[in-house]
Amino acid sequence: MKILVPIKRVVDYNVKVRPKSDESGVDLNNVKMAMNPFCEIAVEEAVRLKEAGKAEEIVAVTIGESSSQEQLRTALALGADRAILVETDVQAEPLGISKLLKAIVDKESPDLIILGKQAIDGDNNQTGQMLGALTGFSQATFASEVNLEGDNLSVTREIDGGLQTLSINLPAIVTTDLRLNEPRYASLPNIMKAKSKPLDVIPASDLGIDIAPRLETLKVSLPAEREAGVIVETVDELIDKLKNEAKVIS
């Protein structure tokens, strides 16, 4: 079985992002970049399936600039067998990304696609579902547990009322939630091995797909600063402030 794992290069989650001075976007100059945390979970789940003898090959794929090779090498160090970069300078939106991934799916014919439920930069939570619609594959989103037996995939997902378990057939698409697993750290020997693993670069233009953005960012700015809270000494003082200052009670 072949597993395809789409990943994304994003600003490291520990970094406090800042808008550009002209508020046209996020300032990425000298900012630490990393693999999207949900994508790390997807890679880990694929590696665990391979370690359990249920998969033969893991292919990591990303769409972006040449610098995204860094995150693909990380995926290779974590256990992926080879990687594909669909290279483009266009800031592709979920639909464009899904169309490019569909082209890669047609080329690679994976049995299972595992990807993060969302990226922490756009927070769109759309790519997995759009890819499912384009491919016609079975899909299960927000997976907190995955069990594979033959051609049947059992996926447990969290819903408002508790847990829901789906049984779907391969080929399938699964999007990962935070509680699915705890990603491992790449060891130094595996980091060194990753440097020699295959990484193919495919210009997005070669795939003949229109990925021009359909949305325009008008402004990116920091949220308004919140005023400091007030500490009161007694319940009576609290009630007085709520009544006379905040005027939220009468």
pLDDT for residue 28 = 85
Distance (Å, whole) CA 21 – CA 29: 12
CA dist 111 and 170 (Å) reads 6
CA 230 to CA 115: how far, in whole Å?
44
CATH number assigned to the domain with residue range 2-223, chosen from the 4 options 3.30.365.10, 3.40.190.10, 3.40.50.300, 3.40.50.620: 3.40.50.620
- Would you give per-residue pLDDT tens digits along the chain (250 residues)? 999 999 999 999 888 888 888 888 888 888 899 999 999 999 999 999 999 999 999 999 999 999 999 999 999 999 999 999 999 999 889 999 999 999 999 999 999 999 999 999 889 999 999 999 999 999 999 999 999 988 889 999 988 888 999 999 999 999 999 999 999 999 999 999 999 999 999 999 999 999 988 888 888 888 888 888 888 899 999 998 888 887 888 7
Helix (H, G, I), strand (E, B) or coil at 125: coil
Question: Helices then strands (H, E): number in the chain?
Answer: 6, 11
Contact 127, 114 (CB under 8 A): no
Q: Which two tokens stand for residue 165?
A: 């378990």
Cα separation of the two ends of the chain: 67
Contact of 61 with 113, CB cutoff 8 Å? no
Map out the domains of the chain as residue ranges: 2-223
Nearest of 111, 110, 115, 74 to residue 98 by alpha carbon: 115
pLDDT at 26: 86
